[in-house]
Homo-oligomer: A and B are copies of this chain.
Amino acid sequence: MDKLISRRDLEFLLYEVLEVEALTQRERYRDHSRQTFKDILEVAHKIAVEHFATHNKKNDQQEPYFDGEKVHTNPEVKAALEAYRQAGLFAATHDYELGGIQLPYVISTAYGAFFKAANIATASFALLTAGNANVLRKYGSPSQQKKYLLPQLEGRFFGTMCLSEPHAGSSLTDILTRAEPQPDGTYRLNGSKMWISGGDHEISENIVHLVLAKIPGGPPGVKGISLFIVPKFLVGEDGRLGPRNGVKLAGLNHKMGYRGIPNCLLSLEDAVGELVGEPHQGLSYMFTMMNEARIGVGMGAMALAYTGYLHALEYARGRTQGRRLSDKNPASPAVPILQHPDVRRMLLMQKAYAEGSLHLCLYAARLVDEERTAPTPEAAQQAHLLLELLTPVVKGWSSELGLKANELALQVHGGYGYTRDYNVEQFYRDNRLNAIHEGTNGIQALDLLARKVGMQGGAAYKLWVREIERTIAQSRGPGSELKEYADRLEQALNTTTEVTQLLLSKAAEGAVERAFANSFAYLELFGTVTLAWLWLQQAQKSMGREGAFYRGKLEAARYFYHYELDKVPLLAARLRRLDDVFLCPEQDWLAEC
C-alpha cells in the first residue's frame, strides 16, 4: 500500500460530499467529466508514487548544498518534476490558450495532495511555480506573460516568492529592499531576501523571482511596497535567456525538516527587475500568491498528517503488544496494538484531523472554482468572501492539527517511530515548518479575528454561519440520527457568534489589544467549529450506508463531536473574559531568570 492519501476518501469528498461533478455543467469545465477527473487523479497518483515518494527519504538525508558556485539537489528531484511537467500538470488549471486543460482547481488540489504526501519538498517547487504563475496571469503585462508566465506553465521556468528579509519576516512594512527606476523602464533592485524556497538551483532553465521592494519616494509602510519580476537569467523579448542577473545566493538555511528544497538567503545586487502592475500596489498583488500559498501550506500539513495516519494505522494493525485490559492471562496471545483504547484514541484523532482537514482544503479549493465560474456575480463574490475568511483557518488550523497528528503517528510507533528507519519522524519534522511559514499561526489567528471576521460588516462571517446553518437544517430531517450533532453544532455556532460580536464590539470601542490578545484561542474555536461542520456533512453522507468506510466516517464524526467540539465552552469562556494575562505592561518579570 502506498499510504499517501486514501483514494476512496478523495472520491467520497469530491463526489459524494462536495458534488464536484456539478462543475462540469459550467462553461469553463464543459469538456470535463468524472472520467477525466479520475484519469488525471490516476496519472498524478502514479507519478507521486513512482517519482516523488521514492526519493523523499533521500531528500531528507542528503539535503541540497551550495558549493560556492551552484546549488546541488538530488537528481531525483529534477526527474520527478520532469514527470510532473510531462503530464502537463504545471498548466492543468489554466486556459486552453495558455496550454492548460481548464481543470477545476479543486481537482488539482486533490491530486496535489498525493504529491505533498509523497514528498512535500519536491512538491513545493511545483506549488511555488503555480502560485507565481497565477500572479502573472492576473497582473502581468502581455510581454511579461510571454516571457515569464508561459515558460512556468510549460514547467521550464520555476517561480519563487521573495517577501521576507533577515530583519523583517512577519512585518513586511519594514522591508528595506530598494528598487530604483531606470531610464529604460526597468528597475535596479538592491537588498536581501530571506527564507526563499527554491531560491536557487539548477533544476529549471530559469527562476522567476517575484520580489517585494520599495521605490524611493513612495508612501511609508505597506502602501509603499511594489512588486517586481526579477529573473535569475535575464530574458529577451524573444524569450531567449540572457546573462545572469544580479541575484546572488548568499547562503542556504539548514532546516530541521523539509530539507529537499533549498531555502535561501538571496542578495539583490543591482538586479534588473520589471515592475508588475502599478507602483505601490505590490502587496495586494502578492496576496494572490500568498493566499494560494497559505492554502498550499494547509494542504501540505494535511497531507503529511494523512500519510502519517496511514503509516500509523498500518503499524498498529501489524504490531502485537500486550493484551486487552480485561485479559489478565499472560498466556493469551498478544493483540495488535490497534485494540488498545489509547492507541485507538491516537488513531481516531489522526483520522479526524487528517480527513477533516482534507475536506476543509478541498472545500476551499472548490470556492476558488466557484469564484471563477459561479453563474452570478453575487455567488462569485460570496465564494470570494468565504475563501478570504477560511484562508487563515486552512493555513493555521490544518497546520496545528497536522503537527499534532504527526506527533501521534510517531507515538503509535513507539521507539521505532523515533528512529530514522521509519518515515513518521520525518513527517513530523517536515510538518513543523507549516505552523511557521507563509505567516506564523499567530499571524493567521490575528488575520482571522482582527481582519476577516469583521470585514465588510461581517459579510464573510455571516456567509459562514449561513452555510453551517444549512448543514444543521439538513441534519434535522425526520428520523435523522444526526439531530444530536446538529443541536450541538448549533449551540457551538451560537456561542461563536456571541463571542465574535463581543470581541469586535470591544475592538470598535477602542480596546483593540484586549479584544485581540487571545486571537489564538479564537482560531482554535473557529477551526474547531468549522471542522465539526464538515464532519457533520461527512456523517450525513455516511449515515445509512453499508460498509466499513462509512462506518469509519461515522466513528470519526462521533470522536469529533465527543472529544473536539466539547472544547467550545472552554475556548469561549477564555475569550469572553477579555483578561489581560497576555497584556501585562511590565516587561521585567519575564526577563528575570
Q: Which residues of chain A have a CB within 8 Å of any CB of chain B?
A: 6, 8-9, 164, 167-171, 173-174, 194-195, 220-222, 253-257, 310, 313, 317, 320-326, 330-331, 334, 338-348, 351, 403, 407, 410-411, 414-415, 417-421, 425, 428-429, 432-433, 435-437, 440-442, 445-446, 450, 512-513, 516-520, 547-549, 551-552, 555, 558-559, 562-563, 566-567, 569-570, 573-574, 577, 579, 581-584, 586-593
Bound together, the chains give a CA A579 to CA B341 distance in angstroms of: 11
Given the contacts A8-B593, A582-B348, A418 and B433 also touching, CB distance less than 8 Å: yes
- 10 A-B pairs (CB sep. < 8 Å): A171-B322, A313-B593, A338-B590, A340-B442, A342-B442, A342-B517, A411-B436, A414-B440, A548-B591, A555-B590
Do B558 and A344 touch across chains, with their CB atoms under 8 A apart? no
Q: What residue in chain B is nearest A425 (Cβ atoms)?
A: B256
Most buried by B among A221, A512, A552, A555: A552
4 tightest Cβ-Cβ pairs between the two chains A and B: A221-B330, A552-B589, A341-B517, A548-B588
Kindly list chain B residues whose C-beta atoms are within 8 Å of the C-beta of A220. Answer: 330-331
Contact partner of A518 (CB less than 8 A), chosen from B322, B341, B567, is B341
Given the contacts A414-B440, A436-B411, A549 and B589 also touching, CB distance less than 8 Å: yes
Do B415 and A436 touch across chains, with their CB atoms under 8 A apart? yes
Chain copies in the assembly? 2
Bound together, the chains give a CA A256 to CA B330 distance in angstroms of: 33
Further 16 A-B residue pairs, CB within 8 A, beyond A8-B592, A170-B414: A8-B593, A173-B330, A254-B419, A255-B418, A255-B419, A256-B418, A338-B590, A341-B513, A342-B519, A344-B584, A348-B581, A549-B589, A549-B592, A552-B590, A566-B573, A569-B570
Bound together, the chains give a CA A440 to CA B164 distance in angstroms of: 40
Do A428 and B432 touch across chains, with their CB atoms under 8 A apart? yes
Do A574 and B566 touch across chains, with their CB atoms under 8 A apart? yes
Given the contacts A548-B592, A566-B570, A593-B310, A445 and B325 also touching, CB distance less than 8 Å: no
Contact partner of A330 (CB less than 8 A), chosen from B222, B425, B562, is B222
Bound together, the chains give a CA A428 to CA B161 distance in angstroms of: 29
Do A446 and B342 touch across chains, with their CB atoms under 8 A apart? yes
Do B418 and A334 touch across chains, with their CB atoms under 8 A apart? no
Do A174 and B562 touch across chains, with their CB atoms under 8 A apart? no
Whole-angstrom distance between the Cβ of A216 and the nearest chain B Cβ: 16
Do A562 and B590 touch across chains, with their CB atoms under 8 A apart? no
Kindly list chain B residues whose C-beta atoms are within 8 Å of the C-beta of A411. Answer: 435-436, 440-442
Do B343 and A442 touch across chains, with their CB atoms under 8 A apart? yes
Whole-angstrom distance between the Cβ of A538 and the nearest chain B Cβ: 13
Kindly list chain B residues whose C-beta atoms are within 8 Å of the C-beta of A221. Answer: 330-331
Most buried by B among A171, A320, A342, A441: A342
Do A169 and B551 touch across chains, with their CB atoms under 8 A apart? no
Kindly list chain B residues whose C-beta atoms are within 8 Å of the C-beta of A562. Answer: 574, 577, 579, 581
